[in-house]
Structure 1
Amino acid sequence: MGRPGSHGLTRSGDDGGLSSRCAGHAPAPTNAYTNLTQDQSAEWRRGVWGGEAKYRRLRELKAEWDPRNLLRFNKNIEPAAPSASIRR
Protein backbone atom coordinates (compact mmCIF):
# COMPACT_ATOMS: atom_id res chain seq x y z
CA MET A 1 0.00 0.00 0.00
CA GLY A 2 1.43 3.32 -1.02
CA ARG A 3 1.45 6.58 0.79
CA PRO A 4 -1.40 9.06 0.25
CA GLY A 5 -1.13 10.65 -3.16
CA SER A 6 1.07 7.91 -4.63
CA HIS A 7 -1.63 6.57 -6.94
CA GLY A 8 0.05 7.78 -10.13
CA LEU A 9 -2.26 10.66 -11.02
CA THR A 10 -0.84 14.02 -11.82
CA ARG A 11 -2.31 17.19 -10.37
CA SER A 12 -4.51 17.50 -13.46
CA GLY A 13 -5.94 14.02 -12.87
CA ASP A 14 -4.18 12.55 -15.90
CA ASP A 15 -3.31 8.89 -15.37
CA GLY A 16 -0.83 8.73 -18.24
CA GLY A 17 -3.24 6.88 -20.52
CA LEU A 18 -3.89 4.00 -18.12
CA SER A 19 -7.68 4.36 -18.37
CA SER A 20 -7.65 4.22 -22.16
CA ARG A 21 -5.30 1.20 -22.17
CA CYS A 22 -7.54 -0.69 -19.73
CA ALA A 23 -10.87 0.23 -21.36
CA GLY A 24 -10.69 -2.50 -23.99
CA HIS A 25 -10.29 -5.18 -21.33
CA ALA A 26 -13.47 -4.36 -19.44
CA PRO A 27 -16.22 -6.97 -19.99
CA ALA A 28 -18.92 -4.29 -20.08
CA PRO A 29 -17.31 -0.86 -20.42
CA THR A 30 -20.63 0.93 -19.91
CA ASN A 31 -23.76 0.17 -17.89
CA ALA A 32 -21.95 -2.48 -15.87
CA TYR A 33 -23.63 -1.69 -12.55
CA THR A 34 -27.28 -2.57 -13.11
CA ASN A 35 -28.53 -1.13 -9.82
CA LEU A 36 -27.20 2.37 -10.46
CA THR A 37 -29.54 3.35 -13.29
CA GLN A 38 -33.24 3.78 -13.90
CA ASP A 39 -32.76 3.17 -17.62
CA GLN A 40 -33.97 -0.18 -19.00
CA SER A 41 -34.10 0.69 -22.69
CA ALA A 42 -32.87 -1.60 -25.48
CA GLU A 43 -29.54 0.26 -25.47
CA TRP A 44 -29.19 -0.30 -21.72
CA ARG A 45 -29.96 -4.03 -22.14
CA ARG A 46 -27.30 -4.32 -24.86
CA GLY A 47 -24.74 -2.74 -22.55
CA VAL A 48 -25.63 -4.87 -19.54
CA TRP A 49 -26.83 -8.20 -20.91
CA GLY A 50 -24.71 -8.27 -24.09
CA GLY A 51 -27.24 -7.59 -26.85
CA GLU A 52 -30.79 -8.43 -27.82
CA ALA A 53 -30.03 -12.04 -28.80
CA LYS A 54 -28.45 -12.76 -25.41
CA TYR A 55 -31.31 -10.98 -23.65
CA ARG A 56 -33.87 -13.15 -25.51
CA ARG A 57 -31.89 -16.24 -24.50
CA LEU A 58 -31.88 -15.10 -20.87
CA ARG A 59 -35.67 -14.63 -21.04
CA GLU A 60 -36.06 -18.15 -22.47
CA LEU A 61 -33.92 -19.60 -19.68
CA LYS A 62 -35.84 -17.56 -17.10
CA ALA A 63 -39.10 -19.03 -18.45
CA GLU A 64 -37.68 -22.53 -18.15
CA TRP A 65 -36.19 -22.21 -14.66
CA ASP A 66 -38.41 -19.54 -13.05
CA PRO A 67 -41.66 -19.32 -15.05
CA ARG A 68 -43.55 -17.63 -12.18
CA ASN A 69 -40.79 -15.01 -11.83
CA LEU A 70 -40.18 -15.70 -8.15
CA LEU A 71 -36.49 -14.80 -8.37
CA ARG A 72 -36.52 -11.13 -9.22
CA PHE A 73 -35.01 -7.84 -8.16
CA ASN A 74 -35.28 -4.26 -9.35
CA LYS A 75 -33.60 -5.00 -12.72
CA ASN A 76 -35.55 -8.18 -13.37
CA ILE A 77 -35.44 -10.19 -16.58
CA GLU A 78 -39.03 -11.09 -17.36
CA PRO A 79 -39.61 -14.71 -18.44
CA ALA A 80 -40.32 -15.20 -22.14
CA ALA A 81 -43.83 -16.09 -23.24
CA PRO A 82 -44.48 -19.85 -22.87
CA SER A 83 -44.46 -20.44 -26.64
CA ALA A 84 -40.94 -19.01 -26.89
CA SER A 85 -39.58 -21.06 -23.99
CA ILE A 86 -37.03 -23.81 -24.36
CA ARG A 87 -38.48 -27.31 -24.19
CA ARG A 88 -36.31 -30.21 -23.07
Structure 2
Amino acid sequence: MRLSFPVLLVTLAFCCYEVNAEVCPSVLVTLRSFTLGTIPELKSILEKYNPPEAALSAPLEVKECINEISMKDRHYILHILMRVTSTCAS
Protein backbone atom coordinates (compact mmCIF):
# COMPACT_ATOMS: atom_id res chain seq x y z
CA MET A 1 0.00 0.00 0.00
CA ARG A 2 3.03 2.30 -0.12
CA LEU A 3 2.14 3.21 -3.69
CA SER A 4 -1.29 4.53 -2.76
CA PHE A 5 0.19 7.51 -0.92
CA PRO A 6 2.08 8.93 -3.94
CA VAL A 7 -0.99 8.37 -6.13
CA LEU A 8 -3.06 10.26 -3.58
CA LEU A 9 -0.56 13.14 -3.55
CA VAL A 10 -0.60 13.37 -7.35
CA THR A 11 -4.39 13.42 -7.30
CA LEU A 12 -4.40 16.21 -4.77
CA ALA A 13 -1.90 18.17 -6.82
CA PHE A 14 -4.03 17.86 -9.97
CA CYS A 15 -7.37 18.45 -8.32
CA CYS A 16 -6.98 20.76 -5.37
CA TYR A 17 -4.62 23.44 -6.57
CA GLU A 18 -7.27 26.05 -5.91
CA VAL A 19 -10.42 26.27 -3.84
CA ASN A 20 -13.56 24.88 -5.48
CA ALA A 21 -11.59 23.41 -8.35
CA GLU A 22 -13.59 21.27 -10.73
CA VAL A 23 -11.93 18.03 -11.69
CA CYS A 24 -11.32 17.56 -15.39
CA PRO A 25 -13.13 14.42 -16.66
CA SER A 26 -9.97 13.24 -18.42
CA VAL A 27 -8.19 13.15 -15.05
CA LEU A 28 -10.90 10.86 -13.71
CA VAL A 29 -10.60 8.57 -16.73
CA THR A 30 -6.83 8.46 -16.30
CA LEU A 31 -7.12 7.69 -12.57
CA ARG A 32 -9.56 4.88 -13.28
CA SER A 33 -7.29 3.42 -15.93
CA PHE A 34 -4.24 3.87 -13.70
CA THR A 35 -5.80 1.90 -10.87
CA LEU A 36 -8.07 -0.63 -12.60
CA GLY A 37 -7.25 -0.62 -16.31
CA THR A 38 -4.66 -2.45 -18.34
CA ILE A 39 -1.24 -1.18 -19.34
CA PRO A 40 -2.22 -0.84 -23.04
CA GLU A 41 -5.35 1.09 -22.02
CA LEU A 42 -3.33 3.50 -19.87
CA LYS A 43 -0.72 3.87 -22.60
CA SER A 44 -3.35 4.82 -25.18
CA ILE A 45 -4.82 7.42 -22.81
CA LEU A 46 -1.42 8.94 -22.05
CA GLU A 47 -0.35 8.96 -25.72
CA LYS A 48 -3.19 11.40 -26.46
CA TYR A 49 -1.08 14.07 -24.72
CA ASN A 50 1.95 13.35 -26.95
CA PRO A 51 4.40 13.11 -24.02
CA PRO A 52 8.16 12.57 -24.33
CA GLU A 53 9.20 8.92 -24.09
CA ALA A 54 10.42 9.27 -20.48
CA ALA A 55 7.13 10.86 -19.42
CA LEU A 56 5.25 7.96 -21.00
CA SER A 57 7.41 5.12 -19.72
CA ALA A 58 7.50 6.27 -16.06
CA PRO A 59 3.75 5.92 -15.34
CA LEU A 60 3.70 2.63 -17.23
CA GLU A 61 6.42 1.28 -14.94
CA VAL A 62 4.42 2.40 -11.91
CA LYS A 63 1.34 0.75 -13.45
CA GLU A 64 3.23 -2.57 -13.47
CA CYS A 65 3.64 -2.20 -9.69
CA ILE A 66 -0.01 -1.24 -9.26
CA ASN A 67 -1.04 -4.38 -11.11
CA GLU A 68 0.61 -6.39 -8.33
CA ILE A 69 -1.88 -4.97 -5.81
CA SER A 70 -5.00 -7.09 -5.38
CA MET A 71 -8.06 -6.01 -7.35
CA LYS A 72 -9.98 -5.51 -4.11
CA ASP A 73 -7.34 -3.09 -2.82
CA ARG A 74 -7.20 -1.29 -6.16
CA HIS A 75 -10.97 -0.76 -6.01
CA TYR A 76 -10.52 0.63 -2.51
CA ILE A 77 -7.74 2.98 -3.70
CA LEU A 78 -9.92 4.19 -6.57
CA HIS A 79 -12.81 4.77 -4.16
CA ILE A 80 -10.56 6.94 -1.98
CA LEU A 81 -9.27 8.85 -5.00
CA MET A 82 -12.84 9.52 -6.18
CA ARG A 83 -13.75 10.81 -2.72
CA VAL A 84 -10.74 13.12 -2.80
CA THR A 85 -11.64 14.45 -6.24
CA SER A 86 -15.27 14.99 -5.23
CA THR A 87 -14.08 16.88 -2.15
CA CYS A 88 -11.93 19.08 -4.39
CA ALA A 89 -14.94 19.92 -6.55
CA SER A 90 -17.11 21.07 -3.66
Give TM-score scaled by structure 1 length: 0.31
**Higher helix proportion:** 2
Give TM-score scaled by structure 2 length: 0.30
Task: Mark the structure with the bigger radius of gyration.
Answer: 1
Query: More relative contact order in 1 or in 2 (CA 8 Å, sep 6+)?
Result: 2
